[in-house]
Amino acid sequence: MDRLQKILSQAGIASRRASEALMLQGRVSVNGVTVRELGSKADAARDDIRVDGRRIKTSERRLYLLLNKPRGYVTTRSDPERRPTVIDLLKGVREYVYPVGRLDYDSEGLLILTNDGDLASRLTHPSHEVPRVYEAQLLGTPDEHDLERLRRGLVIDGRRTGPADVRVLKAGLLLITIREGRNRQVRKMCEAIGHPVDRLRRIAIGPLKDSRLKAGQWRELTAEEVRKLQRAAAANAAVGARGRRTPSQ
């Protein structure tokens, strides 16, 4: 018997945290009974476990996709406003995959989709600090003081952001690397210095880059790319853990 959120993650339904949200929303059932209690356990081999009425498959092959998301798509599997979603771009993909992290509706660039819940959890968990690199075209040109504020971290939504790597490509065009995944973080950081984003494109996720992938196109990751992602998540988690240790007295 395993915790239900672990089973859902291993089945590729969602990361463990996202699986907990599915349970709290009443979208998960075991043997016909809706389960909302996060400590609930089940037997993946024997129990009838369903999400939104669809029985999960624990033997589905692992799939790792890299999509170049265009603007005008929502980074979810479905949208109550009936806007197009990134899933609409995955023609020919039969496996149940879901986005790892988010890119907002007006942003574009690289996005991972997978049914590997464990890897998705590692890539999105704050302690793993996998870097994400963005090209940000701003309205106006920030001065050096503004750039230093971005680099040091500033307060958005009541919390200070972590340090960012910021490089000027040309007037008003920045290359920004962050290691957090807060909602609309780059846009809010730039708004905080008085230079809102006009266009935002993610060009790298950890070791993953692909300048040849056109907007709306996707491809499967190679086995080596998957291994690099796994190593990056593990390495950054180890670094984060060492950084959080309290020195011995």
Answer whether residue 249 shows pLDDT above 50: no
Question: What does pTM read for this prediction?
Answer: 0.77
pLDDT at 236 over 50: yes
pLDDT of res. 237: 55
Q: Is the pLDDT of residue 241 over 60?
A: no
- Segment 8-28 shows an average pLDDT of 88
> What pLDDT score does 60 carry?
65
- For the cut 50, the answer to whether the pLDDT of residue 212 exceeds it is yes
- The yes-or-no answer on residue 106 being catalytic is no
Confidence of residue 115 (pLDDT cuts 50, 70, 90): confident
The pLDDT score that the predictor gives to residue 78 is 86
Judge whether 98 and 14 are in contact, CB under 8 Å.
yes
Q: Among candidates 39, 36, 57, which has minimal Cα distance to 48?
A: 57
Domains of the chain: 2-55 (3.10.290.10), 64-126+209-241 (3.30.70.580), 131-205 (3.30.70.1560)
pLDDT of residue 18: 87
**pLDDT tens digits for 82-97?**
999 999 999 999 888 8
- Return the beta strands (E) in 36-90 as ranges: 41-42, 49-51, 54-55, 64-69
Whether pLDDT at 243 is above 60: no
pLDDT class for 201, splitting at 50, 70, 90? very high
Q: What is the mean pLDDT of the chain?
A: 89
Residues in a beta bridge with 108? 201
- Measured distance CA(231)–CA(229) in Å, rounded: 5
Tens digit of pLDDT for each residue in 27-47? Answer: 999 999 999 999 899 988 789
Token digits of residue 108? 């574009």
Greater model confidence, 11 or 70: 70
Q: Residue for token digits 């998301």?
A: 69
- Mean pLDDT for 219-230 is 95
Q: Tell me what pLDDT residue 216 has.
A: 97
Q: What average pLDDT does the segment 240-248 reach?
A: 43
| 160-180: average pLDDT | 95
Q: Which of 43, 48, 79, 104 is catalytic?
A: 104
